[in-house]
Amino acid sequence: MVTEPEIRETPASGGRPRAAVVRDALGVGVAVGLSGFAFGVTAAGAGISTLQACVLSLLVFTGASQFALVGALAAGGNPFTAAAGAFFLGTRNAFYGLRLSQLLRLPRAVRPLAAHWVIDETTAVALAQPDRKSARLGFTVTGLTLYALWNITTLLGALGAEAIGDTRAWGLDAAGPAVFLALLAPMLKTATERAVAALALVLGLGFLPVLPAGVPVLIAALAAPVVLWMKGRRS
C-alpha cells in the first residue's frame, strides 16, 4: 500500500519548486495523452464513428473504461453489457475524488470541472506532492495536458483509421489492448495486486469462449474481492 504524504497548508520549506511539479505533470500528461491515438484507432475498428469516439473522449475521459467499452462492442457484445463493464471500471474514480476533495480543497465553483479530471494519472501526481499548493498545481497541469492531448490524438487516430480502411489488416486492432496493458503493468507493485491481475486474466480468458462479449469483463472484476478474502483468511 502506498503511504500518502502528509499535506501541510503552508510548509516551512516553501513547498516543492513549481518547475519540478510542472515537469513531472507534463511528463505524465504527454506520455499518457498520446495513447488517445490508440483509442481512436480502436474505436474506428469497432465501428464507432469519428464523432462518437471524440464525444466519448470529451465526456467520459477515462481511458480504461473507454477501451473496455469499444473492446466489448468490437467483439459483438450487447451495448448495455459493454456500458456496464465500462461503468464498473470507472467507479474507482469516485473513490479518488473522495481523497482529492480533502487534499485539494478547491473552491466550490471549480469542483464540477475538476471532477471531470479525476483519473488515475491526476490522482497519482497530486498525491505525490508534499503540500497542497504543489498538489493543486500538479493536478491542474496533468489534467489540462492529458485532457487536451487525449482528445486531439483520439481525433487523429479515428481519422487515420478511417483513411487506411480495415484496421485489422494492419494489425491496429491490437493497439488498444497493448496500450492498456502497458499502462497497467507498472501499477502492479505488490503481490496482492499481481494476484488480482492474474486471477482477473484467468477469469476473463476462461469465460471468453462461453459467455457473450462484455460479460467476461464483469466476471473478471470478482478477482479483487476473491483475492482480498483469501488474504484475510491467511492473516
| DSSP-assigned beta bridge partners for residue 131 | 8
**Top-confidence residue, 10 or 57:** 57
User: Which of 100, 103, 106 has the alpha carbon at shortest distance from 120?
Assistant: 100
| 49 contacts 21 by C-beta, under 8 angstroms | no
pLDDT of 75 > 80? The answer is: no
Identify the residue with better confidence: 173 or 61.
Answer: 61
Helix residue ranges per DSSP H, the chain: 18-33, 36-45, 50-59, 63-74, 79-90, 92-104, 111-115, 120-127, 132-164, 175-184, 191-207, 215-220, 223-234
Rounded Cα distance between 76 and 87, Å, is 18
Distance CA 50, CA 40 (A): 8
Cα distance between residue 3 and residue 18, in whole Å? 23
At position 23, the amino acid (one-letter code) is R
| C-alpha–C-alpha distance, residues 225 and 235, integer Å | 15
Give tens-digit pLDDT for 126-155. Answer: 998 999 999 999 999 999 999 999 999 999
Q: Are 61 and 89 in contact (CB under 8 A)?
A: no
H/E element holding 190? Answer: none
Q: Which residue has the higher pLDDT, 191 or 189?
A: 191
Full-model pTM: 0.70
- 19 CB neighbour count, 10 Å cutoff: 8
Best-predicted range by mean pLDDT (67-71, 136-140, 209-213, 215-219):
136-140
Looking at this protein, which amino acid is placed at residue 178? A
Average pLDDT of the chain to the nearest whole number: 81
Number of neighbouring beta carbons within 10 Å of residue 129:
23
Give 28-52 pLDDT, tens digit per residue: 889 888 888 888 988 888 888 999 9
State the average pLDDT over residues 54-69: 88
End-to-end C-alpha distance for the chain, whole angstroms: 16
Q: How many CB atoms lie within 10 A of CB 234?
A: 5
Tell me what pLDDT residue 214 has. Answer: 62
Phi/psi of residue 138, each to 5°?
-60, -40
How many angstroms separate the Cα of 51 from the Cα of each of 23, 40, 57, 155, 159? 32, 10, 10, 8, 10
Q: Is 217 helix (H, G, I), strand (E, B) or coil?
A: helix
